[in-house]
Structures are given as C-alpha cells and as structure tokens.
C-alpha cells in the first residue's frame, strides 16, 4: 500500500508533476495523521473546503482499515460509500491503485448509498424493487396537489414528505401534527397539516399499490430490515461527500455497523451541499463531537482559483453535520497559478467554438485528456459541448459513463461532484441559466425554500469551478450569472 506524503514545497511540487491519476492518492503529513490514526473511539468526521484532501483521506482510511482486517484473519468488511454511483465508481478505481494487497482490497466494498439500499431490500424480500423516476414522481405529486384542492403545489408537498416525514421517520398523523418542520418556511396550521397528511398518505399508498419505490424509501426500508438482523453486515463504514446524504440514508448507515471504535468515518464539506438535506447526526445516534477534524489547506486548487471561486458562495456560513455552523475562515492554498480565464461570448456558437479552442490549447500543452473536464448546468449544453469537441477531433466521454481513459470528460455539475481535474471549463455560466427559474421554488410558495434553492445553485457553481487543479476557464453569453464574481 502506498502511503506517500508530500511534506514540503519540493515534495508537493514533485507530487503535482506526477501523472494525474497518481497525484490523487498523495497525502500531506496532516492528512496522513488523520487517515492513519491507530483508532478513533467512535464516529469521526473530517470537514474542509475543496482540494483539502477529504476524499483522499477517506480512501487511505478505508485502505488502512482493510489492511488491519486482512492482517487479523478472515471476517470483517469495510464499506466505502457516497451519495452517487459515478463517484463510488471513481472511488473504487482509486482504491484499486492505492491498495497493493489483493487480500486487503477484497475487504472493501465500494458502493453508492442507493445501490446499498437496493441490494439490502432485494436480498431480504427476494424481489427486485421497481423504482420511480424523479420526473414521474414529480408529475404524480403535481396531480395529487391538484386533486387535493390545497393551495400548495406538488413540489411543496413532495418536499414536505421527503424533508419532514421521511427525514424524521414519521409513521402516523399524530406524530406529524406534533413535529417541528426545520427548514420549511411556510407555516402549516393544524387543520392544514391534517389535510397535507391525508395527501401524503394517499400518494405513498399509490406508490405501494403500484409496487414502486423512491430511493429514499428504499433506504428507510433497508434500515428497518438491518435493525432486525442478528448482526450488522460491516465492521467499518467510511463515507465520502457526507453532507449530501438524507437522514433516511444515515439511519441505514448507522444500522449497517455496530457502534464502537472506528465504526463510522465521515468526510464532507457543507459548503458543497447540493441537496437540501437537513441532518443532525447526534439525533441519529452518530456523535462526532470531540472526533472532528477541519482541514483548511487546499493542496490541489491554486490560490488564484480559490480567490475567484469562494465569493460565488455569497459569504453565508453553512450548517455542519455536527450541529455547528461551518465557515471557510483560514481556507487557503500554498500553490500559485494563473487567474481563471472568463469569456463573454457573442452567442452560443461562438461560446462552443471558443471552448474547442481552449481544450485544444490544453491538450497541445501536454495535459492528459482524462485530466480535462467540461462542466455545464444542464444536459443540453453538455451534449452541444461534446458534439463540438468531437467535431474538432477531441475524444470525449460523458462524466459517469465509466470511460475516462484518454477522453475529455463532459458532464453536469452534479456529476462532477467529488471529482478533480487539472483543467476545467465551465460553460453556460449565464444569467437565466445559473440559476434557471425552473429549479427555484416560487417566493410566494415558500421563501425559505427559495433561499435554500438559491444557495444550492451557488454551491453547484462553486463545486464546478473548484474541480480545477491548475486551470479554470469560465464562459457565458449575454449577461453573466449573478453568482459570478465581478467580470470585465
């Protein structure tokens, strides 16, 4: 197993000069101490901004625990999990490079949280659960809202179910009528609550009758099933991008491993939260206070990129998983580089042509194709970018498609989460697209949720820009996104 650590400027420079796939496994001594600590007395958490090595720490911690299990004979598995399938696949590829011992590698199960929930339910019930797509789910709740006669849209009712009922594991009307509704801005009087509960009960009943599940329901059911087992399935659980898990998914992970030393190891950054999940870990039996580490030095992203990107967040603090507000005070990089390049294109065709030229410059300078990413907010622009690059003779693949060898990666901001590249082009950062009105809750429906929607869109753009290690290029047409820092 490689435990290489870059101690000073010379070693860090040497690490950054290595092939990009090798660079992604390097640790700074501070990170090394966290990852290879002999034992934690209970759940431990690592938080920090982009490029501070959280994912690398998680990988090394999983490798360390796996080697320890392998050295002590048969039995015991480490679960390495995260919120998205494509990120889990990337973690698995990196882990395979990091762990040299096949016996230790076999001790780690790498799985997205949805796949874990699906597999648990399928194994227990002997059937393959049929899931409902998000668009179909939203259409069903829109129809339910129209039938109800209530002055709320389907999106409001769906969020009430996911963010209050499922989040708090509420099983009956009495509990719903009495519960708090943190993060929900529209007050519901008792009579209205009862009517909302009837809609929720009716719509979830329709799902059951159709034999359909959402992934959050699967996580909830998987947690219930694991509670009934004689013993949890894992010895250790390591979680990356922890800030984007729903309380139902946390209940699943809590039941997947017995409480005790080295049970849960979590890494994440609340400023990169792209799903509106309000979580209090302590209320779910996961107490990290006294075992939390905050890493503030970005050894990946240059200071110039950080100086430009951090203002995208708008200066707001973020709610951490341990109940305390998290800020980026002291967040910095020892690495210097070029300022991000920002282009205002005359029209969409000009923006795409400029993108092709920029990617060609990077390739001609020796950057590996797989170390270049083109990131957009919506799929239509990602498809246009890929078609433009393909026509220019640049090999491409969609992010999350499993093909990253010798291809420039093109995809959505959501898919880029947790990944890193030497050079990143963010295209379509225009007013009216980032944010797009269709992804924002109406002000008169729920002003608190609208504010959270806006912050999520800020976080998405921040995530996209901070995927870059060495070079960042941002383009737009018309007016720039209101989230962009001042542009010429």
- Identify whether the C-beta of residue 369 lies closer than 8 Å to the C-beta of residue 406: yes
Opening angle at CA 296, ends 292 and 298, nearest 5? 130
Q: Which of 213, 280, 221 has its CA nearest to residue 246?
A: 280
């008169």: which residue's tokens?
444
| Residue pair 421/373 in contact by the 8 Å Cβ criterion | yes
Please give the sequence-ordered ranges of beta strands (E in DSSP) within 211-323, or none if there are none.
Answer: 212-213, 236-239, 264-268, 292-295, 318-319
Q: C-alpha distances in angstroms, 159 versus 3, 262, 279, 373? A: 44, 34, 15, 32
Distance from C-alpha of 273 to C-alpha of 371, rounded to nearest angstrom: 24
Non-local CB neighbours of 299 within 8 Å, separated by 6+ positions: 6, 12, 26, 28, 51, 52, 53, 333, 334, 335
Check whether 337 is labelled as a binding-site residue. no
Residue 466 marked as a ligand binder: no
CA-CA distance, 461 to 435, in Å (whole number)?
9
Place of tokens 């129209």: 146
54 annotated ligand binder: yes
- Consult the annotation and say whether 56 binds a ligand: no
Q: What are phi and psi of 364, to 5 degrees?
A: -65, -20
Coil, strand, or helix at residue 479?
Answer: coil
CA separation for the pair 158, 145 (Å, rounded): 9
Q: How many residues does this entry show for the chain?
A: 488
Phi, psi of 268 (to 5 degrees): 180, 175
**238, 78 contact by CB (below 8 A):** yes
Which residues are within 8 A (CB) of 386 and not within 5 positions of it... i.e. 6 or more apart? 374, 396, 398, 410
Q: In a 10 Å sphere around its CB, with 0-12 CB exposed, 13-18 middle and 19+ buried, how is residue 454 labelled?
A: middle
Picking from 111, 89, 57, the residue whose alpha carbon sits closest to that of residue 399 is: 89
48 is in an annotated binding site: yes
Say whether 131 counts as a known binding-site residue.
no
Q: Who's near 224: CB < 8 A, 6+ residues apart?
A: none
Does 417 show up as a binding residue in the annotation? no
Distances, alpha carbon 407 to alpha carbons 186, 289, 365, in Å: 47, 43, 16
Q: Is 8 annotated as a binding residue?
A: no
Binding-site sequence positions = 48-55
Binding-site sequence positions for ATP = 48-55
């Amino acid at each position: 197993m490689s435990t290489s650590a870059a101690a000073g400027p010379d070693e860090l420079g040497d690490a950054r000069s290595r092939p990009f796939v090798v660079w992604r496994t390097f640790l700074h001594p501070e990170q090394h101490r966290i990852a290879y600590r002999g034992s934690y007395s209970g759940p431990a958490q690592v938080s920090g901004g982009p490029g501070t090595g959280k994912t690398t720490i998680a990988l090394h911690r999983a490798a360390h625990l796996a080697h320890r299990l392998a050295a002590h004979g048969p039995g015991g598995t480490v679960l390495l999990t995260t919120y998205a399938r494509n990120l889990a696949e990337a973690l698995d590829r990196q882990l395979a490079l990091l762990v040299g011992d096949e016996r230790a590698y076999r001790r780690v199960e790498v799985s997205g949280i949805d796949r874990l929930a699906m597999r648990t339910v399928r194994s227990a019930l002997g059937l393959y659960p049929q899931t409902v797509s998000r668009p179909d789910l939203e259409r069903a709740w829109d129809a339910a809202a129209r039938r109800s006669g209530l002055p709320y849209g389907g999106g409001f009712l769906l969020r009430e179910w996911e963010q209050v009922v499922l989040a708090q594991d509420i099983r009956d009307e009495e509990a719903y009528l009495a519960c708090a509704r943190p993060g929900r801005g529209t007050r519901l009087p008792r009579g209205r609550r009862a009517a909302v509960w009837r809609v929720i009960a009716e719509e979830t009943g329709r799902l059951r009758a159709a034999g359909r599940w959402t992934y959050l329901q699967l996580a909830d059911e998987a947690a219930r099933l694991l509670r009934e087992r004689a013993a949890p399935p894992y010895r250790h659980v390591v979680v990356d991008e922890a800030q984007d898990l729903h309380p139902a998914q946390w209940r699943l992970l809590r039941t997947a491993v017995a409480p005790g030393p080295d049970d849960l190891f979590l890494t994440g950054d609340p400023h990169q939260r792209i799903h509106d999940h309000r979580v209090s870990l302590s209320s779910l039996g996961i107490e990290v206070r006294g075992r939390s580490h905050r890493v503030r030095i970005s050894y990946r992203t240059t200071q110039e990129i950080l100086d430009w990107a951090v203002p995208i967040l708008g200066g707001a603090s973020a709610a951490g998983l341990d109940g305390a507000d998290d800020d980026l005070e002291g967040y910095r990089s020892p690495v210097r580089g070029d300022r991000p390049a920002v282009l205002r294109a005359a029209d969409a065709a000009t923006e795409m042509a400029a993108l092709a030229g920029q990617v060609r410059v990077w390739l001609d300078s020796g950057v590996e194709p797989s170390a270049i990413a083109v990131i957009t907010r919506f799929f239509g622009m990602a498809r246009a970018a890929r078609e433009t690059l393909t026509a220019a003779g640049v090999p491409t693949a969609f992010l999350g498609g499993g093909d990253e060898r010798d291809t420039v990666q093109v995809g959505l901001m959501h898919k880029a989460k947790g990944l890193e590249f030497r050079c990143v082009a963010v295209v379509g950062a225009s007013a009216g697209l980032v944010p797009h009105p269709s992804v924002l809750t109406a002000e008169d429906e729920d002003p608190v949720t609208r504010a959270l929607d806006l912050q999520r869109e800020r976080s998405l753009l921040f995530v996209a820009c901070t995927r870059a290690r060495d070079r960042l290029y941002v383009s737009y047409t018309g007016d720039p996104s209101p989230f962009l820092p001042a542009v010429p």
